[in-house]
Amino acid sequence: MAKEKIPSTPAIRFMKGQGVAFSLHPYVYEEHGGTGVASRELGVDEHAVIKTLVMEDEARRPIIVLMDGDRQVSTKALARNIGVKTVSPCDPAVAERHTGY
């Protein structure tokens, strides 16, 4: 059976370019599976999976949120804590421009 090709992401290319030692842990993607699927497939607690959320404030300034996989972000609390009026998720196309993903 042929080995499935792993896509080369910007993060993988960066780490290879910097000579960073790392190992891949691929699994089959499930639409809307999120960190629950990732944790199940990798055999780790969902709390140990870090998710990256790309948000923006009312001026459309990007905000990158890293959080435990089993938690949800309160946009109201986040806005209050960083001193802005509102925070909301970025449109996927905008998030891709900010992150390359």
Strand partners, 62: 56
Residue 101 maps to a domain: yes
Tens digits of per-residue pLDDT, 29-64?
A: 899 999 999 999 999 999 999 999 999 999 999 999
Residue 97 domain flag:
yes
Is 83 within the bounds of a domain?
yes
Q: How confident is the model at residue 101 (pLDDT cuts 50, 70, 90)?
A: confident
Domain that residue 101 falls in: 47-101
pTM score above 0.85:
no
Is residue 90 within 8 Å of 76, Cβ to Cβ?
no
CB 51 within 8 A of CB 34: yes
Of the chain, the percentage scoring pLDDT greater than 90 comes to 80
69 within some domain = yes
Q: What is the pLDDT of residues 61-94, one digit of tens each?
A: 999 999 999 999 999 999 999 999 999 999 999 9
Question: 7: helix, coil or strand?
Answer: coil
Q: How many domains does the chain have?
A: 1
- 34 lies in some domain: no
Residue 73 structure tokens: 């972000």
